[in-house]
Amino acid sequence: MKKERLWYIENLRVVLMILVVLQHAVRAYGSVVWWFVDDAKAPLLERFTAVNSSFFMSLFFFISFYFMSASYDRKGFWQFHKDRFLRLFVPLVAYVTLLYAPLMYAYFIRFRALGSIPFASYFTGFFLGLAGKPTGWTGPSWPDLNFGQLWFVEHLLLYGLIYSIVRVLMKGRIRRSGREFYFPSTPLIAAFASILALAAFAIRVNYPLYKWAGFLGFIQAEAAHFPFYAGMFFAALFAYQHDWLAQMPGKTGRIWLVIGLASAAAIAFFPLDARSFGGLSPVALAYAFFEAFACVGLVIGLIYLFWRRFNEQNAFMSFLSKNSYMVFILHLPIVVFFQYLLLGVDINPYIKFALVSLCALPVTFCASALLRKIPFVGKYA
């Protein structure tokens, strides 16, 4: 791959961002883990969420960690964290207070039988948890305070902090290497995927898929996929150090694209129940392997595919690319709003999913474009 503007990475980010919106749009109709809106379910849609969950956040992590190394090399410790504070931490706090807390307040009023109270009382008592957990509390956790989909941003901040501390301790010795270290072979990649699968299987004995926890009281995480994310962290750092995006063999990219697609197809036809999601069973082990190979295969394969086929950008894709991060921040309340509008409407859940998606995507991108006209927002989001 030539050293040039990586349009294929920007285009891949856009597609992943659209998948994130679709993943949340489909949750009301194809998943048991969506508690904002409980509507009629369509079993095939759950398989769409299962395939997405196997790879798309891992690919987001790989891309983010790859360019995190380059950012640190350019900026150094203090400028690196100053920029991340403005680009990641400030939006995280703003989202939790201005968007997610009101969304949870609406859920509190609509679905919890605890009466109607002012927002300020809800925020201090139930969102921050200062009132004490009431009897019969329902919902994903106590208190309501969490980061929503911006758990990803929280993780980027934490991983970035760990990485920068290691760089300081290593006194700058972790840099892009001039030593030839070629792209790994297919057997070596398969061994890496197998390690991720075994680690995920071991964790899922106690933390099955879709079980979220607040580690250390504030790190919001789904432990079942942690090996994939951590694996992408180290893979991305190594890939950056040895410039692997510039030397991926075409044959390797094609092989792993096929492996990733085949593994994703296997997930789509797998029994999606507690047997697959965790526990000491052959079914859970097989599912962990299919997920790991879908993850690794599609991380490599989609990067290769977009490099070969989508390595240019027109005005429309440029617009989507510039707004993708803000769409990530804004989309959840907009998706839930449209899901709620259709709640009780007697139409097929597949049609509801299509309607929510077709409404939420343009509305969110347009809202992002308007907000990004604000100078500070446009610079950092």
Q: In the structure, how many helices (H) and strands (E) does the chain have?
A: 14, 2
Q: Name residue 212's beta-bridge partners.
A: 222
24-79 residue pLDDT tens: 999 999 876 787 888 888 888 888 999 999 999 999 999 999 999 889 989 999 99
Which two three-digit tokens encode residue 247? 């030397």
Which two three-digit tokens encode residue 125? 């008592």
159-218 residue pLDDT tens: 999 999 988 888 755 555 555 678 899 999 999 999 999 999 999 999 998 888 777 767
Distances (CA, A) of 323 to 58, 177, 381: 21, 33, 8
The residue among 378, 331, 233 whose CA lies nearest residue 27 is: 331
120-133 residue pLDDT tens: 999 999 999 898 88
Q: Return the pLDDT at 2.
A: 44
CA–CA dist 52, 294 (Å, integer): 10
CA–CA dist 333, 26 (Å, integer): 14
Segment among 4-8, 13-17, 253-257, 325-329 with least mean pLDDT:
4-8
70-108 residue pLDDT tens: 899 899 999 999 999 999 999 999 999 999 999 999 888
**What mean pLDDT is predicted for residues 304-313?**
93
**What mean pLDDT is predicted for residues 270-296?**
89
Cβ-count burial of 111 within 10 angstroms (0-12 exposed, 13-18 middle, 19+ buried)?
Answer: middle
Cβ atoms within 10 A of the Cβ of 115, count?
A: 7
Cα 166–Cα 169–Cα 170 angle in degrees, nearest 5: 85
Q: Return the pLDDT at 192.
A: 97
Q: Return the pLDDT at 1.
A: 41
Cis amide leading into 282 (omega within 30): no
Q: Which helix (H) or strand (E) holds 73?
A: helix 43-84
Segment among 141-150, 222-231, 292-301, 318-327 with least mean pLDDT:
141-150
Q: What does the CA dihedral 265, 224, 70, 160 come to, rounded to 10 degrees?
A: 160
Mean pLDDT over each residue of the chain, to the nearest integer: 90
Percent share of the chain, pLDDT over 90 = 65
Cβ atoms within 10 A of the Cβ of 298, count?
A: 24
**Global model pTM greater than 0.85:** yes
> What's the helix, strand, coil split of the chain in %, to 5?
70, 0, 25
Distances (CA, A) of 10 to 192, 319, 358: 26, 11, 22
Cβ-count burial of 322 within 10 angstroms (0-12 exposed, 13-18 middle, 19+ buried)?
Answer: middle
